[in-house]
Amino acid sequence: MKKQISLNLAWSLIVLGGIIECFWVSGLKYANTLPLYILTGIGICISFTCAVIAMKKIEVSIAYSVFVGIGTTGVVLLEMLFFKESFSLLKIILILILLSGVIGLKLISKENENIT
């Protein structure tokens, strides 16, 4: 018998996976030693495991959009804040538009408590 996860846990996993994605994506660019490559690989496995588990409870299209939206936003902000990527007001505006779309998708999603 499979154990169901709660809707709150599923959304928490999407958020956690999206945050971890921010770090492993940067790892793809900046890793230059075997331990950093291994950490990047572990991050990939953890973030996608979180997403896959959550998608058993949340619509795939909505869950993946939120997951990638968090990752994209985080990577752009990390690059600007910590890796000397050029700051641009246009980037910030576009990130806000992206976040608005992700939040809108979350708000209109039809979550089903009966999905296993």
Q: What confidence tens digit (pLDDT) does each residue in 44-89 have? A: 999 999 999 999 999 898 899 999 999 999 999 898 888 888 888 9
Residue 90 pLDDT exceeds 50: yes
In this structure, the number of other CB atoms found within 10 A of the CB of residue 67 comes to 25
What residue ranges do the domains of the chain occupy? 7-108
Specify the pLDDT at position 116: 44
Distance, in Å, from the CA atom of 36 to the CA atom of 14, rounded to the nearest integer, reads 24
Mean pLDDT of the chain: 88
Specify the pLDDT at position 2: 62
Query: How confident is the model over 2-44, as pLDDT tens digits?
Result: 678 898 999 999 999 999 999 999 889 889 999 999 999 999 9
Distance, in Å, from the CA atom of 19 to the CA atom of 29, rounded to the nearest integer, reads 17
Say how many CA atoms lie within 13 Å of 71 toward its Cβ.
Answer: 22
